């Protein structure tokens, strides 16, 4: 039985991906900062672990408890929407600690077992906001674009060890907790500095409006499944109708 460890499974992409792989007979290690048995119905193939990707000791404990895994999915992340001028530097550091450094730390933690077996797959979930500039997303985009860049570079380091590396890029996902997670990071997450208020209101109106194309959590789960099970898929895999459209325009 193959096994997969997924970060950020309390909601959204991570939760849907955990369910998707469970339904297909995989052993799933679903990790959350605060594990909740009510989020995913317990099954014999499910292992629920506490994990904070910004805490090195938490990472070490989770990897030790998980045992051997075949696939690592770095999905945990923090959303943020504000002008650079309206984003305190400590918030920027926290976003990078989770979205960027947390991803790197998780990869470092699993590489020894992958190298020893000369097999394994690493899937990093980023975003199609990295494909074109968008207002008020500079910090979030930077944290995800950094993951894109280092993923494609360190993938070359892992070729001699037969370790596969993939990127999954979702689009706009109104069913996820992007805004809620941002507010949890800072109460002023969506409170724009006065000079940027008109722009902020316009951007939010656009995000909350009707969209012909968008990304569902299931789209991301299906893309991760393809990345985990089909070696022929490209390194960058858009997830969601809008993501596919954006990727064709780059």
Contacts of 64 (CB under 8 A, 6+ apart): none
Please state whether beta strands 121-125 and 164-170 pair in parallel, antiparallel, or not at all (unpaired): parallel
State residue 168 phi and psi, 5-degree precision: -115, 125
In sequence order, which ranges of the chain are alpha helices (DSSP H)? Answer: 12-23, 56-66, 89-96, 102-117, 138-158, 178-185, 197-208, 217-229, 241-249
DSSP-derived 3-state class of residue 160: helix
Count Cβ atoms within 10 A of the Cβ of residue 212 and give its class: 0-12 exposed, 13-18 middle, 19 or more buried: exposed
* Contacts by 44-51, CB closer than 8 A, 24 or more apart: 45/1, 46/18, 46/22, 51/7, 51/76
User: Does 20 participate in catalysis according to the annotation?
Assistant: no
CA 164 to chain centre: 17
What are the two backbone dihedrals, phi and then psi, of residue 8, each rounded to the nearest 5 degrees?
70, 55
Catalytic position from the list 80, 114, 140, 192: 140
For 165, the token pair is 């590396």
Which positions are annotated as active-site residues?
A: 140
């Amino acid at each position: 039985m193959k096994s997969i460890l997924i970060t950020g499974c309390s909601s959204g992409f991570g939760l849907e991906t955990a369910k998707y792989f469970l339904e297909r007979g995989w052993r799933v290690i679903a990790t959350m900062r605060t594990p909740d048995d009510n989020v995913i119905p317990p099954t014999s193939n499910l292992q629920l672990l506490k994990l904070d990707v910004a805490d090195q000791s938490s990472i070490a404990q989770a990897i030790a408890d998980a045992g051997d895994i075949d696939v690592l999915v770095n999905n945990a992340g923090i959303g943020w929407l504000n002008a650079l001028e309206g984003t305190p530097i400590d918030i920027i550091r926290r976003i990078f600690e989770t979205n960027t450094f947390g991803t790197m730390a998780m990869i470092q933690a699993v590489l020894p077992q992958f190298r020893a077996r000369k097999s394994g797959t690493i899937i990093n979930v980023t975003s199609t906001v990295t494909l074109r500039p968008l207002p008020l997303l500079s910090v979030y985009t930077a944290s995800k674009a950094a993951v894109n860049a280092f993923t494609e570079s360190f993938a070359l380091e892992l070729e001699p060890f037969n370790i596969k590396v993939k990127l999954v890029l979702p689009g706009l996902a109104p069913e996820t907790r992007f805004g809620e997670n941002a507010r949890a990071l800072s109460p002023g997450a969506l409170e724009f500095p006065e000079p940027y208020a008109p722009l902020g209101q316009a951007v939010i109106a656009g995000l909350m409006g009707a969209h012909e194309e968008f990304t569902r959590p299931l789209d991301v789960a299906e893309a991760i499944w393809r990345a985990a099970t089909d070696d022929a898929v490209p390194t960058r895999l858009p997830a969601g109708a809008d993501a596919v459209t954006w990727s064709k325009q780059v």
